[in-house]
Structure 1
Amino acid sequence: MDIRELISLDDVMEELGLGPNGGLMYCMEYPFPVVFSAHLEENLDEWLSEELENYMEDDYLVFDCPGQIELFSHVPVLKNFVEHLQRKNFNVCAVYLLDSQFITDVTKFISGCMASLSAMVQLELPHVNILSKMDLVTRKRDIEDYLNPEPQTLLSELNERMAPQFQKLNKALIDLVDQYSMVSFVPLDLRKESSIQYVLSQIDTCIQFGEDADVKIKDFDQDEDQD
């Protein structure tokens, strides 16, 4: 399914003279105030529900969302979309990808954590944070320090990088991230099948995928007779 069947970013940018970010915000908000309004929800059913009918009950659906953080922190369109899926009895989780290059600088890493936290608070979903593009990380010894870093270590590094007048702000940011237990990431290296499988297992756990499957029972006595 493709949302561009409803509206095109290129057309919006050309006709309204908007840039990529402004155009994308318009694209997401323009069809959905009508689509998601309580008394016109049948408009959403007409498009999305028709598309979902092409899938089986136990199919695994991945929605590839735009990367602009504004869509997850400033406007309710994606939250409304998630709530619609939940009303359709879908188990949903958010998978937030943070570029591994953010671990090269503690200030960038904290900003990435805060962006992920804002998405988590807005969407109110089970959340899996992923450090993507791990194959591009050259200093492998830094990886473990950022997968589950100690808040006080982050605070110390922030204070070293920032001017003294920012120390109270730094502590407030670290305390907020630590309070929400956000400082935890799963590394993803697309070159390694084991890495992909591990990430998938984390997502499966969040959405309880496969938990209602029938248990496979093996008749050991029959196997022994055959031997």
Structure 2
Amino acid sequence: MSGHSKWSSIKHQKAATDAKRGNLFTKLTREIIVAVRKGGPSPDANYALRLAIQRAKDSSMPYDNISRAIDKGAGTADGIQLQEMVLEGYGPGGAAILVQALSDNRNRTVQNVRNVFTRGGGGLGESGSVAWIFENKGVISIKAGDRDADELGLLAIDAGADDVTVEKDYITVYTAPQKLEEVRIALERNDIPIESAEVTMVPKQTLDLDEKAAIQTLKMIDNLEELDEVRSVSTNVNFSDATLNTYATAK
């Protein structure tokens, strides 16, 4: 999962940019609304809502925004029905790309996502075409700072993590989805600062691309994530440090 570890660290950095654009809060609001409508407005009794609220807090979403999203999810005045969607396709060089979305108009979302795939040199696939490449995992990102990375990794394993990878000063902790909250709490009790924690799709195996195709894939992912209805994008590409640096510099 080392390729995904690098991707996790840059996704966290990208989140700050998304927040500046304003669309991150829109995505987080949608997640909270759906969680409330599926499991009720009480975080104590609704695990999905607890995770959604924690993600919002991790992204510095104001409390008033979170509260309004919960109220909106609990009410029916707006009449908006959000549908969870999973769209699958291939990017340049055969990269597998899995898109998770929350939409109030399925046809519009499919067309928007299809357009991004097509413009990016890829194509939207059939249901099941790439989903088998991924598995649902809890993913916790930690910046080691002055702490010993190996020590932090052992603490995570002791707390119930399945796997830990280290990329420079970033540590990525993988858990079973239902163990994410438990492991996070255990790490925080040891004064380990959590940069992000989420349940997401992680590739079982990664794919190496040449730099041109890898950069095209990064651009496609950026364009997909700019769509308001897209909540997350996963890929099986193992992005090299050189490629990530080249792409970041060119933006």
When normalised by structure 1's length, the TM-score is 0.29
Bigger strand fraction: 2
TM-score computed with the length of structure 2 as normaliser: 0.27
